[in-house]
Amino acid sequence: MAEPMTATAHGSHGGDEVTKRDFLKLVAGAGAAVGAGAMAWPLIDSMNPSKDVLALSSIDVELKSIQPGQAITTMWRGKPVFVRHRTAEEIKAARAEVKGLADPATDQDRVKPGKDEWLVVVGICTHLGCVPVGNKPTDQRGEYGGWFCPCHGSQYDTSGRVRHGPAPANLPIPPYAFLTDTKIKIG
Amino acid sequence: MAGLHKSEFTNPVINWVDSRLPVFTMMQKEYGVFPTPKNFNYFWNFGALAMVTLMIMIATGIFLAMNYTAHTSMAFDSVQRIMRDVNYGWLIRYVHSNGASMFFLVTYIHIFRGLYYGSYKAPRELLWILGVVILLIMMATAFFGYVLPWGQMSYWGATVITNLFSAIPVVGEPIVTWLWGGFSVANPTLNRFFALHYLLPFVLIGIVFLHIAALHVTGSNNPLGIDVKGPQDTLPFHPYYTIKDSVGLCVFLAIFAAFVFFAPNFFGAADNEIPANPMVTPAEIVPEWYLLPFYAILRSVPSKLGGVLMMFGSIGLLFIVPWLDTSPVRSCKFRPVYRWFLALLVIACIVLGMVGAHRPEGIWVILGRVGTAYYFLHFLVILPVLGKLERPLPLPESISKPVLRGGGPLPAGAAAKPMEKA
C-alpha cells in the first residue's frame, strides 16, 4: 500500500524536487534525535561521580612520626597517597641531571619550596593503576631507589618520576599545602 | 490472508496454538527436518555445547543473585555466606564459576572449528561477525562477574582493566572516572558491574538468536567445506544431530562435573580469597586463563597506548578475517600449507597464554613478543598472501561421494554442475 502512494507523491512533484514533506521529515527526525539525546545524557551522566563522592574533601597528615628514608601511605579520595621523608642522598639523586625522561620534570617542581625532604605523590602507577611498592626501606624499590610496580615492572626514582617500564607518566602530585612544619593538608 | 496459519499438527491443542502463532511449525522446520550436511564430525558439537553452557550460566546466576549483595562492605561476606550457609550455595557457585571456564573452552574450540574449516567464508561472513560480537560480550560479562566476589584479584583486575581506557589520549581520564563513578574502583563501580553482569547474558541471548537465524539462512558449513548439492548430501537435524549433540553433551558435562566436584578451585586464584584492599596490590595480577593470551599481547608492547591498541586489535582482526583470507577453498583438509600455519597460530595462542601467566621477565618477554608478532603476521600477511600462492588439493565432487565411497545416487544434472570453488 505504501509503495504506490509514495510513487504518486513523488510523481506529482517531479521526482527530484524538494518538497515541504521532505522538510517536515527532516525536522521530525532531527527533533526525535535531539530528544533521544537529551534523554540519554542524564542516564550517561548518572554514571559520573556523584555529589557524595565528590564531597570526599581533604585530609590532614601528621608528618612527625615519619623517619627519614621512610614513607607512609594515606588515603585521599579512595586513592593511596605516599608521603615520603627523603634522606639527603635521595634528594641528591633526585636533583642529579638525567636525560631522556619519559615525562620530563625537575625535582624542584615536584616538592614545596624549602621542604625538599618531603615528597607527596599519588601512589598509583600511571600504567594501569597498581600500587607500587617501596615505602619501607626493606621493600624492593627498583634501580632508581624510588618505587617499583610489581604488576608490569615500572620503576620510579626518588622524585616519583618514571625511569623504566611501561608507565607513561610520573606519579602525580596531589594538591596539598603545609599547615605547620609537621602537618600537611591534602586536597 | 484470512489470518490463520495452516498448521499441519494433528493434536488439537497444538494445532490451535500453531494456527495462531506458528512456533511449532517453526521449531519443526528449523530443528526437526532442517536439512543438515551429513558429514559433520564432533567439532560440530561445540555450538550446541556453548548454548547449553549459556543456559546453565543464566540459571545458576539468577539463583546466585538472590543471595548476593552488591556493596563493597558486604559483597565478599555475601559470597562466603553462599558458600557456607545457603543450601547448595557451594554447588551453584562452583557450577557458575567453573561454567565460565567451560563456556570459554567450548567457545574457543568452536572458533577454532570455524578457522580450520573456513566457516567464516562467503556466504557466512555475517554469521562469523555475530560470533565475534558474542565473544566480545562474553569477555565483558566474564570480567564483570569476576569483580563481584570483591576479593583482591577482583579489585585489582577491575583496576587494571578499567585503566586500559586511560591510554586513550585526551578523553582517557574522564572516561575512566565515568566508568568508576568515582576516583578509584569503589562501591559505585561494583554496583554498576553487577547491573551489567546481569544484563549482558540476556543481550547475549539476543545475539545468539541472530547468530542461529543467520546460520539457518546459509545452512551449516561441513568438514569438506563444499556446498550442499542436494537432499542426498543432508540429513534432517532431528534425530541425527540431536543425538550426535547429546553424545558430545554427555562427555562435556562429565568433564564439567569433574571440575565442579573434584577440583572446583582449579581455575581460581588464591588471592581472590582475600577481601579487596585498595591500599595493597597483590604481588602478581593474573587474569583468568581465557584472557591470558590477550593480557600477554598487552604486556608485550613497551608502550601503554600501543599495548592497549594491539590487545583490542587482536580481537578486532577477527571481524575482518572473512576478507583477509583470499583462498577460495574453505576446509583446511584441502589446504596442505595453510594447515600448518593454523597449527602455528594455535601454538602461538597457547604460548601467549603461558606468557600471560608469568612475570614479564627474561625468556617470557621474548616469547611474548614472538607470539604477538606471529599472531598479527598470521592474520595480516599469511592469510591474504598464502591464499594466492597455495595450490589446494582437489575437492571432492560432492559431500555424498566420499561418504558413500563411490557416489550414492546423484540427481540428474548435479554432477554436471561446475565445482563452485577452486
User: Which of A45, A53, A77 is the best residue to mutate to test the B interface, defined by the most B CB atoms within 10 Å of its own CB?
Assistant: A53
Nearest to A127 among B186, B192, B304 (CB): B304
Q: What is the CATH number of the domain that holds A147?
A: 2.102.10.10
Annotation says B303 is catalytic: no
**pLDDT of amino acid B96:** 97
Q: Please name the residue of chain A whose CA is at the shortest distance from the CA of residue B365.
A: A152
Annotation says B288 is catalytic: yes
Residues 6 or more apart from B220 whose CB is under 8 A from it? B36, B37, B40, B44
Phi/psi of residue A161, nearest 5 degrees: -90, 145
Nearest to B182 among A44, A53, A133 (CB): A53
Distance CA B45, CA B56 (A): 17
Same domain, A40 and A61: no
**Closest approach of A153 to chain B, Cα-based (Å):** 8
- CB of A81 within 8 A of CB of B279? no
Residues 6 or more apart from B230 whose CB is under 8 A from it? B410, B411, B414
Same domain, A28 and A79: no
Inside any domain, residue A9? no
Query: At A67, is the pLDDT very low, low, confident or very high (cuts 50, 70, 90)?
Result: confident
**Closest approach of B272 to chain A, Cα-based (Å):** 16
**Closest approach of A167 to chain B, Cα-based (Å):** 7
Same domain, A43 and A120: no
Same domain, A39 and A102: no
**pLDDT of amino acid B414:** 45
**Joined grid coordinates for residue B385:** 598472501
Inside any domain, residue A58? yes
Nearest to B299 among A47, A150, A152 (CB): A152
Same domain, A76 and A37: no
In chain A, residues with a C-beta closer than 8 Å to the C-beta of B279 are 73, 75, 80, 131
Q: Count interface pairs A-B at CB distance under 8 A.
A: 85
A134: left (phi over 0), alpha (psi -120 to 50) or beta: left
Distance CA B418, CA B351 (A): 43
Digitized pLDDT (tens) for each residue of chain B, 422 residues in all: 568 999 999 999 999 999 999 999 999 999 999 999 999 999 999 999 999 999 999 999 999 999 999 999 999 999 999 999 999 999 999 999 999 999 999 999 999 999 999 999 999 999 999 999 999 999 999 999 999 999 999 999 999 899 889 888 889 989 999 999 988 899 999 999 999 999 999 999 999 999 999 999 999 999 999 999 999 999 999 999 999 999 999 999 999 999 999 999 999 999 999 999 988 888 788 899 999 999 999 989 888 899 999 999 999 999 999 999 999 999 999 999 999 999 999 999 999 999 999 887 889 999 999 999 999 999 999 999 999 999 999 999 899 876 555 545 544 444 444 444 44
Cβ–Cβ of A128/B177 closer than 8 Å?
A: no
In chain A, residues with a C-beta closer than 8 Å to the C-beta of B285 are 130, 151
**pLDDT of amino acid A127:** 85
Inside any domain, residue A22? yes
Inside any domain, residue A118? yes
Inside any domain, residue A2? no
Among A48, A67, A91, identify where a domain stops. A48
**Closest approach of B65 to chain A, Cα-based (Å):** 22
**Closest approach of B165 to chain A, Cα-based (Å):** 9
Inside any domain, residue A10? no
Same domain, A35 and A64: no
**pLDDT of amino acid B183:** 87
Straight-line distance from the first to the last Cα atom of chain B, in angstroms, rounded to the nearest whole number: 46
Cβ–Cβ of B160/A151 closer than 8 Å?
A: yes
Same domain, A162 and A81: yes
Residues 6 or more apart from B375 whose CB is under 8 A from it? B297, B314, B345, B348, B349, B352
Cβ–Cβ of B163/A128 closer than 8 Å?
A: yes
The mean pLDDT of A100-117, rounded to a whole number, is 88
**Joined grid coordinates for residue A27:** 525536522
Residues 6 or more apart from A185 whose CB is under 8 A from it? A58, A59, A60, A61, A176, A177, A179
Domain count, chain A: 2
**pLDDT of amino acid A28:** 95
Same domain, A89 and A44: no
Q: A113 by DSSP, 3-state: which?
A: coil
Q: Please name the residue of chain B whose CA is at the shortest distance from the CA of residue A80.
A: B279
Same domain, A44 and A59: no
Cβ–Cβ of A129/B302 closer than 8 Å?
A: no
Annotation says B244 is catalytic: yes
Query: At A10, is the pLDDT very low, low, confident or very high (cuts 50, 70, 90)?
Result: very low
For chain A, percent helix, then strand, then coil, each to nearest 5? 30, 20, 50
- CB of A83 within 8 A of CB of A96? no
**pLDDT of amino acid A57:** 66
Range of the domain at A180: 53-186
**pLDDT of amino acid A7:** 45
Domains and CATH numbers, chain B: 19-283 (1.20.810.10), 286-391 (1.10.287.980)
**pLDDT of amino acid A14:** 54
Q: Please name the residue of chain A whose CA is at the shortest distance from the CA of residue B357.
A: A151
**Joined grid coordinates for residue A124:** 598509583
Same domain, A68 and A139: yes
**Joined grid coordinates for residue B202:** 540476556
Q: Please name the residue of chain A whose CA is at the shortest distance from the CA of residue B299.
A: A152
Inside any domain, residue A125? yes
Cβ–Cβ of B307/A166 closer than 8 Å?
A: yes
With vertex at residue B217, the alpha carbon angle to CA B215 and CA B218, rounded to the nearest 5 degrees, is 70
Q: What length is written for chain B?
A: 422
The type of residue at B51 is M
What residues of chain A have any CB closer than 8 angstroms to a CB in chain B? Answer: 44, 47-50, 53, 73, 75, 77-80, 127-133, 149-153, 166-168
Q: Which residues are bridge partners to B159 per DSSP?
A: none
Cβ–Cβ of A130/B164 closer than 8 Å?
A: no
**pLDDT of amino acid B417:** 45
Cβ–Cβ of A78/B178 closer than 8 Å?
A: no
A1 has pLDDT over 80: no
Among A48, A65, A86, identify where a domain stops. A48
Q: What is the DSSP string of B93-129?
A: HHHHHHHHHHHHHHHHHHHHHHHHTTTTSTT-HHHHH
Same domain, A44 and A57: no
Same domain, A81 and A134: yes
Tell me the whole-structure pTM to 2 decimals: 0.85
Inside any domain, residue A1? no
- Number of Cβ atoms within 10 Å of the Cβ of B420: 10
